[in-house]
Chains A and B, each alone.
Chain A
């Protein structure tokens, strides 16, 4: 199972919006509404930010939103803040009854 494809880095100024893409195939992202997104600060464990494509767990800021079109899922961070600077990973359930993560995106707040 190949990793889902994410851009290596995305940057934006405080207050701006950025979008991170996550591209897979019809056997994973495109085949199921089971895409989740995780935020990871250096030296810390990942934290769930979005589940089932577009749902936000309680406690996660509504500045984070998710969507999907075909084989590509997206995470949008609006009103970018310094604390959003971190690595972000997508994940999808697959037709092999397994999970696959994305390659990861480093978000930089300029």
Chain B
């Protein structure tokens, strides 16, 4: 079955960077975009951007432009999301999600908690 498995929880200091991985299985990794969505504790969902695993092309939400980088390693069917210059407001659960395709997100990874604290 189609599955996305994410890396484990991270604790980072303000100003640092974090890189979250998302390993895909059960389908052809290069055939569907991967999106990243985050959710602060008790808050709603926030779309961060997309990456095309075949071309490497990306599209980022304006809010994260300049701070987020989405990449992939096709040999291991894994997508990555790196967020830099972390601040406390970046504390959230980060999800990867496969494109529908397109225009919807299914399935989702299990989520990765990133905590930013001094």
Task: List residues of A (30-73) whose CB comes within 8 Å of B's CBs.
Answer: 32, 34, 36, 38, 45-48, 51-52, 57
Q: Which 10 A-B pairs have the closest CB atoms?
A: A36-B104, A48-B106, A34-B103, A51-B104, A45-B108, A101-B45, A99-B47, A104-B44, A93-B103, A89-B45
> With A3-B44, A101-B47 known to touch, is A36 a contact of B105 (CB < 8 Å)?
yes
Cβ–Cβ contact B44 & A45, under 8 A: no
Please give the residue numbers on chain A whose beta carbons come within 8 Å of chain B beta carbons, in ascending order: 1, 3, 32, 34, 36, 38, 45-48, 51-52, 57, 89, 91, 93, 96-104
Cβ–Cβ contact B62 & A1, under 8 A: yes
Contact with A along B83-114 (1 / 0, CB 8 A): 00000000000010100100111111111000
Nearest-neighbour CB distance to chain B for A84, whole angstroms, equals 19
Please name 11 pairs of A and B residues whose Cβ atoms are closer than 8 Å in the assembled complex, sorted by A: A34-B104, A36-B103, A45-B95, A45-B110, A46-B45, A48-B106, A51-B100, A51-B106, A89-B45, A100-B47, A101-B45
Contacts of A32 in B (CB 8 A): 103
Nearest-neighbor residue (CB-CB) of A105 within chain B = B44
15 additional contacts, CB 8 Å, given A36-B103, A100-B47? A1-B62, A36-B104, A45-B95, A45-B107, A45-B108, A45-B110, A46-B95, A46-B105, A47-B108, A91-B47, A93-B103, A99-B47, A101-B37, A101-B45, A104-B45
Q: How many A-B residue pairs have CB under 8 A?
A: 63
Nearest-neighbour CB distance to chain A for B14, whole angstroms, equals 26
Contacts of A102 in B (CB 8 A): 44
Cβ–Cβ contact A45 & B111, under 8 A: yes
Nearest-neighbour CB distance to chain A for B23, whole angstroms, equals 15
